[in-house]
Chains A and B, each alone.
Chain A
């Protein structure tokens, strides 16, 4: 059926794959009608998709260094865009984002703006130049541009802190979904998730991760869009929700005032009876509910963090050319846009379905006893994601008496809106794909930095290919297990640690990366000072605020990157200027990086 080289057949291969996946959904729908249990459908969805990824990972195995580190630099623009989108959109984007918008409204949407706007910085400031450089990892760029092991080592430290914070959250998310879908305890599910992640990346490195990520993108976007369009059509809100939900947004605002949002407050004693992690609606849906600085500072941190996170940057090392790297950033953002622009629509549909008394699914204003008798309420109450309580004793459910977990907006809405269970199974598979693809990229970013930059460049530069690749794989497994072990402890929530990862990356890497291309005078001493002082000051600020410190400039524990990156910028410029300018060879290297044509700065095999 497929002739010739794999790369030339990509549209066909993934076309068949997408068709096969849609066929599988239909098959499951038929099985549901035939009486297959909800539990079995969930297991089939998650197990089937994970097996496919593992198969792709196995087929992409490689014994070549440049295939392992940069997928042989032959990933076409559009496919690299899809892979980056999957790499980028984590369990947090898929499972938690619509929930965040549902509960916090405008203040939360700074994340939408920040997580997309950052790509403009990636495209214009960094990606094409790093591609021209021809490096395998981000510390590889820092180490060669500035020269010296100290710069390389500092970059590895920042990368590891940021990516490791991020990856524990992702392994946590795979564990959560695997434990719900496969019905196994969380601390075992975490290792099941880890095993699936390693199966995708261990044998083929970047090449395997690339092709599984494309496959995972297709699953996650199908799983996100089908429910949004279906619900919108089902409640008659419009066949294309993105352009047609204005009336629904206005209707929510009307219901909010009708139900006394913000005027009826719960007492502390009442709130204490609500299970941990659940929240009620306290913020208006479409009003501006936060100060400009709070919104903007969060958006700025997410944007600069996007441009500093190594697992995203290294995706652009895999394109065939500098031109392709630039265009590929555009495609990445397009594919991300498809999901991100749908999240607010899902939040709107979910909220309206629950709130509007004119809809059969609306529960606000119904009697408490009736709500407690609804099937889906009982299921999600048992899963600890929904809760009602008659605080004022009038027997009727008020808006302030309904509580839900953030994840429930994505996971439970299909069931609330009366969609068949097959859609819920699909959503679980999508969430699994989102968390796995990001975890893969992160684990690979860390282990590649350790194997290439620490082992090969610093410890044993004479190591042969086979030995380098063995070290890379051993490290991959170690990093994965370390991540899973910490994830099993459940220290922080998923979303909080994701935001921290951005702040860490921004504190240590943003200015050293950008100035490496855009400021010739930047030297090794300056870069080391920038990376280390940035990371240390950012971390110190976080610890201080976490322990009750007052903070300054309105910078919170979610935006500590502002402090870190400012310290990084100032120290980098000052130290660079008071020490010697980089030698002429380095200056020439920077000139070369700025011209797209010609050979890469680093050789093909290095």
Chain B
């Protein structure tokens, strides 16, 4: 497999992981909204579903994007596809 094909393979895998995490916190958990609110788990004292919609999911998305960017940079570096800084 060429260098470029391997790079794309790894990039795709990272995409799938990123989208899987995204799916869980933007769609998946809200199938169980009623159950989560009733669960008695209370981050900072807020009802669980309420907390996810106010802060939880939103904060996870912020962290997820920075994590994704960092991982992608590593993949690019591994294959020597990093841009020159003076570009």
Q: Give residues in A with beta carbon < 8 Å to B.
A: 106, 109-110, 112-114, 116-117, 119-121, 123-125, 128, 242-247, 249-250, 286-288, 292, 295-296, 299-300, 303, 320-323, 326-327, 329-330, 333-334, 337, 340-341, 344-345, 591, 594-598
Contact = CB atoms under 8 A, between A and B. Distances in A.
Complex A-B, nearest 10 residue pairs according to Cβ-Cβ distance, in ascending order: A246-B45, A117-B26, A109-B53, A330-B65, A326-B69, A344-B54, A286-B50, A120-B22, A288-B33, A330-B66
B54 A117 contact: no
10 contacts: A121-B22, A123-B68, A124-B22, A124-B65, A249-B50, A292-B33, A320-B87, A344-B54, A594-B7, A596-B82
Contact of B27 (A299, A326, A337): A299
Interface of B: 4, 7-8, 11, 14-15, 18-19, 22, 25-27, 30-34, 37, 42, 44-47, 49-50, 52-55, 57-59, 61-62, 64-66, 68-69, 72-73, 76, 80-84, 87
Contacts of A121: 22
B65 A329 contact: yes
Of listed B18, B58, B84, residue having the most chain A CB within 10 A: B58
B37 to A, nearest CB: 5
Nearest to B58: A116
B49 A113 contact: no
A326 B31 contact: no
A341 B58 contact: yes
Contacts of A250: 45
Contacts of A123: 65, 68-69
Contact of B33 (A106, A112, A245, A594): A106
B50 to A, nearest CB: 4
A128 B47 CA distance: 37
B61 to A, nearest CB: 5
Given A246-B46, A286-B50, A113 B26 contact: yes
Contacts of B66: 327, 330
A591 B47 contact: no
A124 B68 contact: yes
B48 to A, nearest CB: 10
A333 B15 contact: no
A112 B53 contact: yes
A242 B71 CA distance: 30
Contact of B53 (A113, A128, A246, A296): A113
A597 B83 contact: yes
Contact of B72 (A117, A303, A326): A326
A337 B62 contact: yes
A292 B35 CA distance: 11
Given A123-B69, A597-B83, A337 B58 contact: yes
B46 A113 contact: no
Contact of B37 (A112, A125, A288, A333): A288
Given A106-B53, A112-B54, A595-B81, 11 more contacts: A113-B57, A120-B26, A123-B68, A124-B22, A124-B68, A128-B72, A249-B46, A287-B37, A337-B59, A596-B81, A597-B76
A497 to B, nearest CB: 24
B49 A333 contact: no
B59 A124 contact: no
A344 B52 CA distance: 12
Contacts of A119: 61, 65
Contacts of B58: 112-113, 116, 337, 340-341
A114 B58 CA distance: 9
B15 A124 contact: yes
B22 A323 contact: no
A327 B69 contact: yes
B73 A323 contact: yes
Nearest to B44: A243
B59 A341 contact: yes
Given A121-B22, A334-B62, A109 B72 contact: no
A296 to B, nearest CB: 5
B20 to A, nearest CB: 11
Nearest to A120: B22
A529 to B, nearest CB: 25
B15 to A, nearest CB: 5
A396 B44 CA distance: 36
Nearest to B53: A109
Of listed A124, A295, A341, residue having the most chain B CB within 10 A: A124
B49 A288 contact: yes
Contacts of B84: 597
Contacts of B30: 113, 292, 295-296, 299
Contacts of B34: 288
Nearest to A340: B58
Contacts of A117: 22, 25-26, 57, 61
A591 B8 CA distance: 9
Given A286-B46, A288-B33, A597-B76, A323 B82 contact: yes
A96 to B, nearest CB: 17
Of listed A121, A123, A287, residue having the most chain B CB within 10 A: A123
B4 A292 contact: no
A247 B45 contact: yes
Contacts of B47: 249, 286
A303 B57 CA distance: 13
A109 B62 CA distance: 17
Contacts of A595: 4, 7, 81
B69 A295 contact: no
Nearest to B42: A246
Contacts of A303: 26
Nearest to A245: B46
Contact of A116 (B7, B33, B42, B57): B57
Nearest to B15: A124
Contacts of A344: 53-54
A241 B44 CA distance: 11
A341 B61 CA distance: 12
A596 B19 CA distance: 20
A344 B61 CA distance: 18
A329 B87 CA distance: 20
Contact of A124 (B18, B26, B33, B54): B18
